[in-house]
Amino acid sequence: RIIGENGGTADGNGFIGVFELEVIAGLANDVDNDGMDDSWETTHSLNVGTDDSAGDADSDGLSNIQEFAANTDPQADDTDADGLKDGAELGTHNTNPLLPDTDGDGLSDGQEVNATSTDPTDPDSDDDSLTDGAEVTVHHTNPNKADTDNDGYADGVEVSVGSDPNKAGSLPVASMGTGLLGVNDVVDTDAGTQL
């Protein structure tokens, strides 16, 4: 549709004496003009012929038009069945409502939010080199604490060298090898001076 002529003075867009054309794209298959494709509405048991875009059939906090945009199921409050409602995933936790484990750490988004209080968008919430899922299900360490047993060694370090990250008395042992003692007066690329 033609909005009109700007005239002889520049407007906020910097145009002088030109016409502006506004084009509004719509769906090819949307008889009720509610912004949702009719076949999508039919598939998800919504009303074709009635503007039901503002409705929230599953009470998950997302309107039907938001569910259409996110490709979630407007009849299921938790499309990916991970224990978090779709609205909370998109609005609060910034997780993917179509993936049960957004960060791929082995714990569902719902487990991370409701049980372990870990970050469902970070596979290693405490940055100890063990995924949250491995800490909870394999090593039984605290996924929110880098050094579960407070012995000065991160859980990931202990696991990598075979000590128990749950027992303070189980310390990492240096592997057998040749050690060099020396000095290096600055951080640089040389090996320093051997003593």
- Looking at residue 173, its pLDDT comes to 80
Among residues 94, 105, 98, the alpha carbon closest in space to that of 132 is found at 105
Among residues 2, 48, 55, the alpha carbon closest in space to that of 24 is found at 2
Using one digit for the tens of pLDDT, what is the confidence trace for 59-96?
999 999 999 999 999 999 999 999 999 999 999 999 99
The whole-model pTM stands at: 0.72
Using one digit for the tens of pLDDT, what is the confidence trace for 16-45?
555 565 655 556 799 999 999 999 999 999
Rounded CA separation 89/153 (Å): 34
Using one digit for the tens of pLDDT, what is the confidence trace for 113-159?
999 999 999 999 999 999 999 999 999 999 999 999 999 999 999 99
